[in-house]
């Protein structure tokens, strides 16, 4: 016998005063739902087992008759099954959401309603840069994707992004529930350096790191005495992040000495939103233009002109988000472009889409691409 299960997902609601303190479902006319209720048997079913969070994957598995305490492993295996990824013994699957952040705030859980085609570009980028024999990224649908970690420990505290809109995201990062899960949780921590800063920790020119995964052997002086056991003792994510930050700052005193004038120049470009011509920057340093450009590229990974272009693009992208109805001509002039044609070319060059696509919510520039690590993208 075949059965059809119809789940009214998301029907819980708050009473609306203008509807006589009824919810939308209570107020709605539902003749067919009423007919099904009259013809069937009614009752209450506890779909969220004790100790489980009230999520749709928990409730759906309960309705289908699964013994959650015995088989539940989160959304990951369900996501894998839905996109046809076979999990091997010892592999841990995690739902991988693309989100949108603004500053320290989780702006939305859907990355601006990103399309599957656009999301695939980001997931493939993650796979190329972070994937290896232990870690794999798989494209799913829209903002919902899959992360598979070989040998990962499943005892993790993960917060679904859709449960915490407009909340600070840092306190919600992955945390281990048991000491054995610390190594897996630590894989979720990243360090982002300001322009020039990474140069203090390596003698390799930074431009050689562009768009590639770098072996930590290049940073032996940085990690040689790092105490991972002490990191594991920290009780929460904030303490671990603070420990890593204190460690890195402490190492600055005994590592490479970066010429402070280049730090000043990089910050000056940022403060002026990339609107200063390169020849004006030469007034800030005591070098020829060729020497200046070569050393700047060694320290930041790109030429001063490219750095300025990406900084200006970042400004225009943020400006358009705040003023979506502004004319492109006005935006171009306010952001230091000669005309709106130049602005459009830069959007396609660095973002892969036109400003119009961005404003119509057809495209979302992901925070996964920090502007000082971007490289031009062919379109």
Are residue 302 and residue 197 in the same domain, yes or no? no
Question: With pLDDT > 90 as the criterion, what percentage of the chain qualifies?
Answer: 4
pLDDT digits (tens, 9 = 90+) for 16-62: 889 899 988 889 999 998 998 899 888 888 888 787 877 777 888 88
**pLDDT-based confidence at 256, cuts 50/70/90?**
low
Report yes or no on 141 lying in a domain: yes
C-alpha–C-alpha distance, residues 203 and 190, integer Å: 21
Taking a C-beta distance cutoff of 8 angstroms, is the pair 259, 286 a contact?
Answer: no
Q: What percent of the chain has pLDDT over 70?
A: 80
Please check whether residue 166 lies inside any domain of the structure.
yes
Q: What is the pLDDT of residues 81-128, one digit of tens each?
A: 888 898 888 888 888 888 888 777 888 888 878 888 888 888 887 887
Residues 59 and 33 in one domain: yes
Please tell me the distance from the alpha carbon of residue 177 to that of residue 179, in angstroms, as a whole number.
7
What is the pLDDT, as a whole number, of residue 295? 85
pLDDT in tens, 190-229: 666 667 777 776 677 777 766 665 555 555 555 566 666 6
Domain membership of residue 126 (yes or no) is: yes
Burial of 93 (C-beta count, 10 Å sphere; 0-12/13-18/19+): buried
Rounded average pLDDT over 241-268? 74
Say if 119 falls within a structural domain. Answer: yes
290 and 228 in a single domain? The answer is no
* Confidence category of residue 188, pLDDT binned at 50, 70, 90: low
Q: Answer yes or no: is 379 within a domain.
A: no
Q: How confident is the model at residue 249 (pLDDT cuts 50, 70, 90)?
A: confident
Which of residues 170, 188, 206 is at a domain's end?
A: 188
| φ, ψ dihedrals at 96, nearest 5° | -115, 105
CA quadruple 321, 351, 101, 302: dihedral, nearest 10: -120
- Note down the domain range covering 44: 17-69
pTM above 0.85, yes or no: no
Answer for the pair 25, 37: CB distance below 8 angstroms, yes or no.
no
List, in sequence order, every beta strand (DSSP E) within the chain. 91-97, 100-102, 105-108, 135-141, 144-150, 156-157, 175-176
**Among the ranges given (144-158, 174-188, 274-288), the one the predictor scored with the smallest mean pLDDT:** 174-188
178 and 83 in one domain? Answer: yes
104: helix, strand or coil: coil
The answer on 128 and 199 residing in a single domain is: no
Local confidence band at 162 (pLDDT 50, 70, 90 cut-offs): confident
Examine the pLDDT at 254 and tell me if it is beyond 70: no
Residue ranges of E strands in 125-229:
135-141, 144-150, 156-157, 175-176
DSSP string, 65-127: T--HHHH---HHHHHHHHTTPPPPTTEEEEEEE--EEETTEEEETTTTT--HHHHHHHHHHHH
Do 161 and 138 lie in one domain? The reply is yes
- Indicate the pairing of strand 105-108 with strand 91-97: unpaired
pLDDT for residue 375: 32
- Contacts of residue 71, defined as CB under 8 A and 6 or more positions apart, other chains included, come to 61
Count: domains in the chain = 4
Q: Higher confidence at residue 117 or residue 358?
A: 117
Residue 295 belongs to a domain with what CATH number? 1.10.10.60
Q: Do 234 and 206 lie in a common domain?
A: yes
Q: How many CB atoms lie within 10 A of CB 296?
A: 27
Q: Which residues pair with 22 in a beta bridge?
A: 16
For residue 7, being part of any structural domain is answered with: no
Mean pLDDT of the chain: 78
pLDDT at 340: 85
Query: Among the three residues 219, 234, 256, which one is the final residue of a domain in this structure?
Result: 256
Q: Which of these three, 132, 161, 188, is where a domain ends?
A: 188
Q: Are residues 293 and 360 in the same domain?
A: yes
| Helix/strand/coil for 249 | helix
């Amino acid at each position: 016998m075949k059965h059809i299960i119809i789940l009214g997902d998301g029907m819980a609601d708050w009473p609306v005063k203008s509807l006589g303190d009824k919810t939308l479902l209570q107020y709605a006319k539902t003749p067919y739902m009423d007919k099904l209720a009259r013809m069937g048997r009614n009752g209450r079913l506890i779909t969220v087992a004790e100790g489980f969070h009230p999520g749709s994957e928990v409730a759906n598995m309960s309705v289908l008759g699964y013994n959650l305490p015995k088989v539940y492993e989160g959304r990951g295996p369900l996501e894998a099954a839905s996109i046809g990824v076979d999990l091997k013994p010892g592999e841990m699957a995690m739902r991988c959401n693309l989100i949108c952040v603004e500053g320290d705030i989780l702006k939305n859980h859907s990355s601006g309603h990103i399309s599957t085609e656009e999301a695939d570009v980001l997931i493939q980028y993650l796979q190329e840069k972070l994937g290896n024999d232990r870690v794999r990224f798989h494209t799913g649908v829209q903002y919902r994707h899959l992360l598979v970690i070989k040998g990962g420990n499943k005892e993790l505290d993960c917060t679904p992004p859709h449960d915490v809109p407009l909340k600070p995201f840092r306190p919600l990062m992955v945390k281990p529930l048991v000491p054995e899960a610390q190594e897996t949780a630590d894989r979720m921590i990243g360090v982002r350096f300001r322009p020039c800063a990474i140069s203090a920790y390596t003698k390799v020119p930074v431009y050689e790191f562009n768009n590639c995964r770098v072996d930590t052997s290049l940073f032996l002086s940085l990690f040689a005495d790092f105490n991972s056991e002490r990191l594991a003792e920290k009780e929460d994510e904030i303490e671990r992040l603070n420990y890593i930050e204190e460690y890195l700052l402490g190492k600055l005193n005994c590592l490479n000495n970066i010429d402070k004038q280049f730090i000043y120049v990089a910050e000056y470009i940022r403060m002026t939103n990339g609107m200063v011509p390169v020849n004006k920057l030469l007034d800030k340093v005591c070098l020829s233009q060729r020497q200046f450009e070569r050393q700047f590229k060694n320290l930041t990974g790109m030429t001063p002109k490219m750095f300025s272009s990406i900084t200006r693009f970042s400004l225009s992208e943020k400006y358009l988000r705040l003023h979506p109805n502004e004319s492109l001509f006005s935006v171009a002039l306010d952001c230091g472009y000669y005309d709106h044609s130049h602005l459009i070319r830069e959007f396609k060059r660095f973002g892969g889409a036109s400003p119009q696509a961005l404003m119509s919510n057809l495209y979302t520039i992901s925070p996964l691409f920090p502007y000082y690590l971007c490289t031009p993208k062919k379109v």
